[in-house]
Each structure stands twice: as structure tokens, then as C-alpha cells.
Structure 1
Amino acid sequence: MITSFQIVDRGDKESQEMAEKFRATLTDHGFSLSNNPDLVISIGGDGTMLRCFRDYYSPSTAFVGLHTGTLGFYADWSKEEAGLLLHEIQYGKPHFEKCPLIQGTFELLTGEKKTFLSLNEIIIKSNSISTLVLDVKINGEKFESFRGDGILVSTPSGSTAYNHSLMGSIMHPTLDAMQVTEMASINNSVYRTLNRSFILPKEQHLILEFPTIDERAIVGIDGEEYHLKQIKSIHVCVADNKINFARYKPFPFWERVKGKFLKEM
């Protein structure tokens, strides 16, 4: 049962005004504003939903999105449907859909470990014109030696984002899997990489190891950049926890894919 809520907006005037209307209406109807909410309402675009995830994720919190710009994959509702969404939150009973997250653990040469959860993707890339060199292991066994700009590991939900721009495959967001996509990999008579994205199930994990110390590598987690010095290895797997999306109406994922990528302007 949803009794508490939080709202995150994109920051533009229209989104802020809409957020204030939601806030006033829901509190007037007995819902409490909380920093540990049952429901987080994202008003903006996909970037706003990623901020909701970073700030308020817990396994018991549900998320719903209303987009105030172009069509977003994380937003079920358009701004013209704001009144309908408000009504559904007050009186409706949502279906909760669980979607996988990925977990990345970064081990530094000092022995320190940093762990991140991601809703969209984890990226490791070079911040210079030099190529990045990584040993790619699946379940501890070496798969390939990678040379190129970087490697992206996406969730099924994130497969329609940067992964799609890199010619990765689109995955249904409820699949328990992750996708590994290479960025400008080098393939010639000396260096060989798969040069295709590949998909790993939850039961398998990925390890990216630096054969030498590389101070130029940077890490991206859902659009946020982290400069981690002297990374030794990165362990990525499908997380045990998932994110809950509150569906107050059907979630037409493939229709959404069609609308974003296939319909003529």
C-alpha cells in the first residue's frame, strides 16, 4: 500500500509547476512526503528517473515517471495525462514490475573496493586518445584481450540508451541478464576482439582486468563520471536486488521502442 511519496523534477518551469501540483494534491489527500517513500514520482525525462534512482533507491520503493519533454523509456505518462496519473496514485492499485539492476565492484591497487548499483549502464573508458587495454573474463576464464575506447555493460532497461547508439541489441527490461558492448574495438592481424555485443545471464559474471596500471581510465555510472585512480579490476554482475516500477496502466515496451526508433517524424 502506498502512503508516502517523493517527487523529483527536471528543474524547468513546467516540471516544477507540475511537481508542486502533485505535491499539494497528494498531501491534501493524506499522503505523506518522505525521504524514505513508498513511491517516487519522476517528472521530466530519463535523466530525471536516473536521479530518482540514485537518490531514493531501495528494494521496497516503487518508481513512476511522467515525461515533460520528448518520449522517455522510463516514463509511462505524458504531461497531458498528469491528472489521470494523480487520480491513479490516489485511488488506483498499481501493478509492480521488477526490472534487473547491475552491480559493479571496482577493486583498486590499494585493496580498497567501491561498489555501485546501476539502472542503465556501467562504462569504463579511456580519457585520452590512447586505447584502453583490458583482459575480459567470463566466470573467471579469460575470454579476450580488449583494445579500444572502452567497454559498456548495460542492464536490459539501459539497452535502449548508450548501448543502442553503440549498435548493441535491445533487450526486454524484465530479462535477468546484462549486455556487454565494445566501444571502437581494434581488430587487425595482431589484435583480435569479438567486435560484437554479447549477453550474459544472471548466473554468470564479468571481470575486466587491467594488465598494467592505467591512470587514464574513467568510470561512468548512469551518466555520472567517477575518476578512480589505479583500478585493478572491475567485477560486474546482475544484482540480487531489482527496481520496482509502479505500472498504473499497461507498459507497451515494444510500442515504445517502435515510437522512439521507427516512427517517421
Structure 2
Amino acid sequence: MRITVFNNSGEKSITTAGVLTKKLEQAGFVLDDKHPDVVVTVGGDGTLLSAFHRYADSLSHVRFIGVHTGHLGFYTDWRDFELDDLVDALKQDSGQSVSYPLLDVSLTYDDSTTAHFLALNEATLKRMNGTMRTDVYIKQNFFESFRGDGLCVSTPTGSTAYSKSIGGAVMHPRLDALQVTEIASINNRVFRTLSAPVIIAPDEWVTFRPASGQDFVMTVDQFSTTTPPIVEMKFRIASERIHFARYRHMHFWDRVEDAFIGVKK
């Protein structure tokens, strides 16, 4: 088994990654950051997001494991003081994994060029210097003409991230569905939107067709960029999936309770 250790720049993460690397070498594992079978991230959920994008071209054969150097996150099953247990679990690995859906984002610009992205959590489209005007389609059908700060499209695992903070529902990650959440929509006698999160079925897709000449900022997970004028932005469930090597399981709703409520009876 070829393993790579991917860490953030925090002092604790750097130290933990160094200790883990030595333990893996002593256990006889091959350390390979170019063609790994398993990517072990050390840091937090943001670190795992970065690793996902680093190895997005290898998702068919790469599994991820998260080691958290702070509080447990949604993508991290192990703590920094459990490294010996993690190495033992890797020794007994039988290829087990759990997979979750990803977001496929396709863009068409006004010069007819295109771009393609994968997101683990979400993608957003915003206008920073005025009201964003965007027609929204579900499959081929017109749904609404949006006016507001922006729109967010999230995966089930991403539903506990930015989407939740703007009023989105929390979705179980076994659902192959997408969620569209409005960001500060304008609703009055002239403009009207649904003003509620929309859950998109697996065989459907969402298309944004923004008004021309607007200054947009697009985000894909934690990465943001200003874009050339966009003609169309299409979202669907990706054919690719992310795979986690899960040697022990924490129920999703227990994770939600621990992260956002934290009050035990």
C-alpha cells in the first residue's frame, strides 16, 4: 500500500504529520505522494478539502483518511493522539471504504470557452458590487429569476458547511442529491423567488444563466476566483465520488449533534 501524509501549515499538524510519517515507515508502508493508494490528511476538514483537490484526478483509486489536530470534523475520524491505532488499522486494511457524491460544475464563458470543476462541499456564484441577476433552470425548465447576493449549490456532505449557515437543510451524505440555497434574495412585488432551499434529484441538474456584464466571484469549496463574463453555469451530481477508508464508523447524526448542539442528556 502506498500512502502519503498531507498536512496544513499549523505547528501541531506539522509535528503530528512528522510523527505519523515515521510510524508508517517503521511499519513498512511505502510513502508516495505522487501515486498514493491512501491519502492521510493531518489538520482539519479544510486540510482534507485541499487534499481532495490535489488528488482530484486520482479519485477512482485513492481513499482518504482524516486526522484532526483540533476538534473532530465531518471528514476526520482520527485524533492526533491515536496514531498508533491508525497505523494498526492500516496494517489490517482490506480495502474497505465509504463513498459520497461530488458536485460537477461546468461553465461556459461569453467567448465560448469552457471550464470544469469538482467540489466536495459546494460552489457559489456571487456578485460583490451590486445585485446579482440570474435565471435559474431545473433540467431544461425555467424555475425562477433570482435577484440577490448570490446562490450556493452544495453536496450532502457540504450541507453542514456554508449552505447551513445561509439557511440550507442538513442532508445525509448517503443521499445522491444536490441543494440550492439562496444568499440574501430580494423579494418584493416586482421580484419573487422561492426563498427556500431546493433539493435536486439525482437525475436532474441546475443551470444558472446570469445577466451579462456582471462582475462575479465564483467559489469552489474554499477556493475563490473572479471570472470572465459567464453565459451558463451548470451543476449536477458528478460521475466521480470521493472514497474514505473508514475503519470505524461514527453515525452521521452523532457528528451533527456533536458539531452543532453538543448537549448530552
Q: Which residue pairs with 2:127 in the alignment?
A: 126
- SS in structure 1 opposite 2:97? strand
Matched residue, 1:162: 162
Are the aligned partners of 1:93 and 1:248 in contact in 2 as well (CA < 8 Å)? Answer: no
TM-superposed CA distance for 1:107, in Å, is: 0.4
SS in 2 for 1:203: coil
State the match for 1:174 in structure 2.
Answer: 174
In the alignment, does 2:58 pair up with 1:86? no
Query: Corresponding residue for 1:153?
Result: 153
CA distance in 2, matches of 1:123, 1:151: 6
The question of whether the paired residues in 1 share the 8 Å contact of 2:107 and 2:234 is answered with: yes
> Aligned-pair distance for 1:238?
0.3
Taking the aligned partners of 2:29 and 2:81, their CA distance within structure 1 comes to: 23
Q: Tell me the equivalent position of 1:114.
A: 115
Percent identity for Structure 1 against Structure 2: 36
Runs (4+) off by over 3 Å: none
2:84 and 2:27 mapped to 1: Cα distance?
14
Select 2:26's aligned residue among 28, 51, 56: 28
Residue deviations 1:65-124 (CA, integer Å, cap 9, x gap): 011012311101122322211211123435310100011011000000000000000000
Q: Which residue of 1 aligns with 2:43?
A: 44
Determine helix, strand or coil for the equivalent of 2:28.
coil
Deviation per CA, 1:200-239: give whole Å up to 9, x if none. Answer: 122001100023221x111000010111111111011000
In the other structure, the counterpart of 2:9 is: 11
**Number of residues of Structure 1 aligned to a counterpart in Structure 2:** 261
For 2:138, the equivalent position in structure 1 comes to 138
Q: Distance in 2 between matches of 1:264 and 1:125?
A: 35
State the shift of 1:126 in Å: 0.7
CA distance in 1, matches of 2:172, 2:35: 29
Q: Which runs of 5+ in 2 are unaligned?
A: none
Q: 1:2-31: per-residue Cα shift (whole Å, max 9, x none)?
A: x00111112112211111122122123222
* 1:5/1:37 contact within 8 Å kept: yes
Query: In the TM superposition, what is the alpha-carbon distance from 1:63 to its structure 2 partner?
Result: 0.3
Structure 1 portions without partners, runs of 5+: none
User: What is the SS of the residue equivalent to 1:258?
Assistant: helix
**Match for residue 61 of structure 1?**
62
Q: What is the RMSD computed on CA atoms of the aligned residues?
A: 1.3
**TM-score normalized with structure 2 length:** 0.95
Q: For the Cα contact (< 8 Å) 2:39–2:64, is it kept in 1?
A: yes
**Aligned 8 A contact 2:212 2:230 in 1:** no
**Alignment-derived partner of residue 74 in structure 1:** 75
Question: Partner residue of 1:259?
Answer: 258
Aligned to 1:245: 244
Letter paired with 2:243: N
- Aligned partners of 2:2 and 2:31 also within 8 Å: yes
Scaled by the length of structure 1, the TM-score of the pair is 0.95
